[in-house]
Amino acid sequence: MLFRQTARSAAALFGFLFCLALAAQAQTASVKLPNVTILATGGTIAGTGATSTTTVGYTAATVGVQALIQAVPEMTKIANVSGEQVFQIASENMGNEHWLTLAKRVNTLLAQSNVDGIVITHGTDTLEETAYFLNLVVKSKKPVVLVGSMRPSTAMSADGPANLYNAVLLAGSQDAVGRGVLVVLNDQINGARDVSKTNTTSLDTFKTTELGMLGYIVGGKPFFYRATTRKHTVDTEFDVMNLSVLPQVEVAYAHANVGPVAIDALVASGAKGLVHAGVGDGSLPAKVRPALSAARKKGVLIVRSSRVGQGIVARNGEANDDELDFVVGDNLSPQKARILLMLALTKTTNTRDIQKMFWTY
Ligand code: SIN
């Protein structure tokens, strides 16, 4: 009797445990991980130094994408991660041809139903430029996240692995869909248009200073608080899929009483557009004004920008833009104004239309 009761209890317990195991299995099967592709381009995140205390004077762009992925096995719990080595360069050498190659690859991958998001590992020095370029030419709402690190992979407390984990998390998140190209470092999410590197060596360097970051990553989850009001990705008029070159656009940097030498040289080199990083509200020193005016008369598009780093350059404020037939760069940094002007020149040379683009994107 006792034996039969014990056998019945054991059978019931076994059945219960079996059901629990089945339920757990079913739950695991129903959690579908997003497919995230990492496109590696080099930078400090792929850098190596001589010792664990080497945080300057290291070599950028030496570690391959598979090694970057293997260094963060935790990523396999949040996404199906694959990797491609697109380039292996320090980001100061990121040229227009690299941007076009990268943009085409991103668009091709995002058009595939088995890709949910893309992470681009990148040197931090020009990361904001690549991010803004892609923000204007990617034709998908799926997340595209740029990530870098300030310390090489060999440094003690290297920031690359955690940044990469966060980038994969973000690229696989539904919360990041439709927000334009994003930048994540140091647990902070910034938008491509407005973010800048603000400190040469600090981990806390990527900032959207006056307008504010978009959100944070905390406890393995993105939290968004704002969105850009400027058009991006699927809502822009730019299409680079059939382009193999971009028009030459240069930046001329102003200082007190600067002369026309740099401007004249840039025009002579064949520039189709010039961004003037003026002082204050885009002011033009006396010797610069005639040089820029002469360049415009030769057909070079002129964007009046500012080296200050914050604020709008007011149209017809410090110069009569209508009379000079100049464009003002809104609040874009000179390096981002250069990118928009290059893309604008692929569509038109009409200054009014280009001015509208600067107020739209
Ligand atoms: C680079 O931009 O490639 C080097 C510096 C960095 O990634 O922080």
**C-alpha Rg value of the chain to the nearest Å:** 25
- Residue environment code for 81-95, b if the CB has 16+ CB neighbours within 10 A, otherwise e: bbbebbbbbbbeebe
pTM: predicted TM-score of the whole model, two decimal places = 0.92
CA–CA distances in Å: residue 118 to residues 110, 164, 189, 204, 255: 8, 12, 15, 23, 40
Per-residue pLDDT at 49 exceeds 90: yes
Q: Is 321 in the pocket of ligand 1 (CB under 6 A)?
A: no
pLDDT at 191: 98
Instruction: In whole angstroms, give the CA distance from residue 215 to residue 222.
Output: 7
Residue 90 CB less than 6 A away from ligand 1: yes
How far does the centroid of ligand 1 lie from the alpha carbon of residue 309, in Å? Answer: 21
Which one of 41, 86, 92 would you pick to mutate in the ligand 1 pocket, going by the greatest count of ligand atoms within 8 A of its CB? 92
Catalytic residue among 6, 37, 41, 44: 44
pLDDT (0 to 100) of residue 31? 80
Residue 1 pLDDT: 45
Query: Which atom of ligand 1 is closest in space to residue 148's alpha carbon?
Result: 7
Whole-number Å distance, alpha carbon 130 to ligand 1 midpoint, is 13
CA 278/CA 10 separation, integer angstroms? 83
Return the axis-axis angle of helices 261-268 and 288-297, rounded to nearest 10°.
Answer: 20
CB 288 within 8 A of CB 260: yes
Cβ of 43 below 6 Å from ligand 1:
yes
Question: Which CATH number fits the domain 249-360, given the four candidates 3.40.50.300, 3.30.70.1060, 3.40.50.970, 3.40.50.40?
Answer: 3.40.50.40
Phi and psi at residue 250, in whole multiples of 5°?
A: -120, 160
Best residue for ligand 1 mutational test, from 124, 154, 203 (most atoms within 8 Å of Cβ) = 124
Query: With contact defined as beta carbons under 8 Å apart, do 164 and 147 qualify?
Result: yes
CA-proximal residue: ligand 1, atom 1 (nearest):
123
User: Counting beta carbons within 10 angstroms of the beta carbon of residue 187, is it exposed (0 to 12), middle (13 to 18) or buried (19 or more)?
Assistant: middle
91 Cα nearest atom in ligand 1: 3
pLDDT, tens only, 283-341: 999 999 999 999 999 999 999 999 999 999 999 999 999 999 999 999 999 999 999 99
**Banded pLDDT at 4 (limits 50, 70, 90):** low
* Ligand 1 contact, 150 CB (< 6 A): yes
Q: Would you list the domain boundaries of the chain?
A: 35-235, 249-360
Residues 71-109 have pLDDT tens digits of 999 999 999 999 999 999 999 999 999 999 999 999 999
CA distance 98 to 148: 17
Nearest CA to ligand 1 atom 7: 123
Find the 172 Cα to ligand 1 centroid distance in Å: 25
Average pLDDT of 39-50?
98
Q: Identical fold at 35-235 and 249-360?
A: yes
Residue 185 has pLDDT above 60, yes or no: yes
Indicate the average pLDDT of the chain. Answer: 94
Q: Is the pLDDT of residue 11 over 80?
A: no
Ligand 1 touching residue 125 (CB < 6 A):
yes
CA 332-124-309 angle, to 5 degrees, is 25
For the domain bounded by 35-235, which CATH number is listed? Answer: 3.40.50.1170
Say how many Å lie between the CA of residue 103 and the centre of ligand 1.
20
User: What distance in angstroms lies between residue 359's CA and the mean position of ligand 1's atoms?
Assistant: 30
How far, in Å, is the centroid of ligand 1 from the Cα of 15?
58
Has residue 27 got a pLDDT over 90?
A: no
Rounded to whole angstroms, the Cα distance separating 157 from 163 reads 12
The token pair at 77 is 């719990």
Q: Which residues pair with 36 in a beta bridge?
A: 81, 117
pLDDT higher than 60, residue 12:
no
Q: What is the pLDDT of residue 247?
A: 98
Q: 122 CA distance to ligand 1 centroid (A)?
A: 7
pLDDT value of residue 15: 52
123 lines ligand 1 (CB under 6 A): yes
- Confidence band (pLDDT; 50, 70, 90) for 22? very low
Structure tokens at 128: 């904001």
Taking CA atoms only, the protein residue closest to ligand 1 atom 2 is 123
Query: Is 126 a catalytic site residue?
Result: no
